[in-house]
Amino acid sequence: MTDQPGFPMLRLRRLRRTEALRRLVRETALTADDLVMPYFVLPGRGRREPVPSMPGVERVSGDELLKEADRVAALRLPGVLLFGLPSRKDARGSEAWDERGPVQRAVREIKRRGHGFAVMTDVCLCEYTTHGHCGVIRGGEIANDPTLPLLARVAVSHARAGADLVAPSDMIDGRVGAVRAALDRAGFQSTGILAYAAKYASAFYGPFREAAGSTPQFGDRRGYQMDPPNADEALREIAADLAEGADVVMVKPALAYLDVVRRARERFGVPVAAYSVSGEYAMLKAAGARGWIDEPRAMLEMLTGIKRAGTSFIITYHAKDAAKLLRS
């Protein structure tokens, strides 16, 4: 509007003068309700193993995870996302759908304990395969369609254990539809799908692969994960996953892809999640440990930015620490 008066009548600093005024016009409120805590679940009992590249993050066995679950509940976080570490790997990743696998057991135990927070499970094969890829190998390639029934089987085993949302993270074409059909066939119409819809072939997964032992043993994931410069293509991925039955679509990593979050939110008006990945966490922790950055402030600023971009919730290894600050 051209009749909008400018300076000196307009002074935007007036509303920044005191904390009360700033609070009144604050546009984004980050709360613990926005945060989901990821966990790496080990087989066995009494195990807690720190992840060197992710200070403050430990891989835990099921019994230790139950203690974590009590903390998550006390902090009133709305959800957790579980990754499993198998006791043995094979070419097809068969422990991924084992009813007695670490994730399946952990989900059952958390649910039996009566916690109300949402339990989400990562559905992928890379932690379970000897080659570390997210699908089965045929002729040296990551085969698409032969991978689908395996992913569907994993998802059904998680649903049977009681997962609220299953989260396919493999970037194999058609997996959301395959998972939805398998869940429905098995009677799990109410189990939701959180699709890693726009997941990029990112350098920021490095620390996770150390934690999960899921580094590909040959090649890389560029033949199935997305090319980082592409955003229009991300919208096509998201549209495809929604058409196949995704309930929530996720963009991953978060910080370098906030334009994709914003566009997805505006285009589709559906719940969009973001995964602030291991490398984002590690960078902040490393700079904080050296005194190069004010870690708590930078953490909240980063998470607020991800929220402001349009996310419904954020998966972040900072979830517990941030919730403590936000609840106090």
Active site residues: 199, 252
104 in contact with ligand PBG (CB under 6 A): no
Q: By the 8 A CB rule, do 17 and 244 touch?
A: no
208 in contact with ligand PBG (CB under 6 A): yes
Window 260 to 299, contacts with ligand PBG (CB under 6 A):
277-278
39 in contact with ligand PBG (CB under 6 A): no
- Taking contact as CB under 6 A, which single stretch among the options 11-19, 112-120, 206-214, 303-311 is the one that binds ligand PBG? 206-214
Near ligand PBG by CB under 6 A: residue from 169, 191, 311, 316: 169
Near ligand PBG by CB under 6 A: residue from 36, 123, 134, 178: 134
Number of neighbours of residue 65 by Cβ within 10 angstroms:
25
205 in contact with ligand PBG (CB under 6 A): yes
CB of 253 to ligand PBG, least distance (A): 7
Integer distance in angstroms from the first to the last C-alpha of the chain?
43
Q: By the 8 A CB rule, do 271 and 261 touch?
A: no
CB-based burial label for 165 (10 Å; 0-12, 13-18, 19+) = buried
- Taking contact as CB under 6 A, which single stretch among the options 3-11, 174-182, 208-216, 295-303 is the one that binds ligand PBG? 208-216
Q: By the 8 A CB rule, do 51 and 94 touch?
A: no
Size of the site for ligand PBG (CB under 6 A): 13
- Taking contact as CB under 6 A, which single stretch among the options 144-152, 202-210, 258-266, 319-327 is the one that binds ligand PBG? 202-210
CB of 214 to ligand PBG, least distance (A): 6
- Taking contact as CB under 6 A, which single stretch among the options 7-15, 98-106, 149-157, 207-215 is the one that binds ligand PBG? 207-215
* Cis geometry, peptide bond prior to residue 253 (ω within 30 degrees of 0): yes
CB of 4 to ligand PBG, least distance (A): 45
Query: At residue 295, what are phi and psi to the nearest 5 degrees?
Result: -60, -50
Cα-based distances in Å from 165 to 187, 193, 215, 219, 293: 15, 5, 25, 31, 35
Tell me the H-state helices in 244-309.
258-268, 278-289, 295-308
124 in contact with ligand PBG (CB under 6 A): yes
Which residues are within 8 A (CB) of 40 and not within 5 positions of it... i.e. 6 or more apart? Answer: 51, 57, 59, 60, 83, 84, 85, 211, 212
Interface residues toward ligand PBG, by CB under 6 A: 122, 124, 126, 134, 169-170, 205, 208-209, 214, 221, 277-278
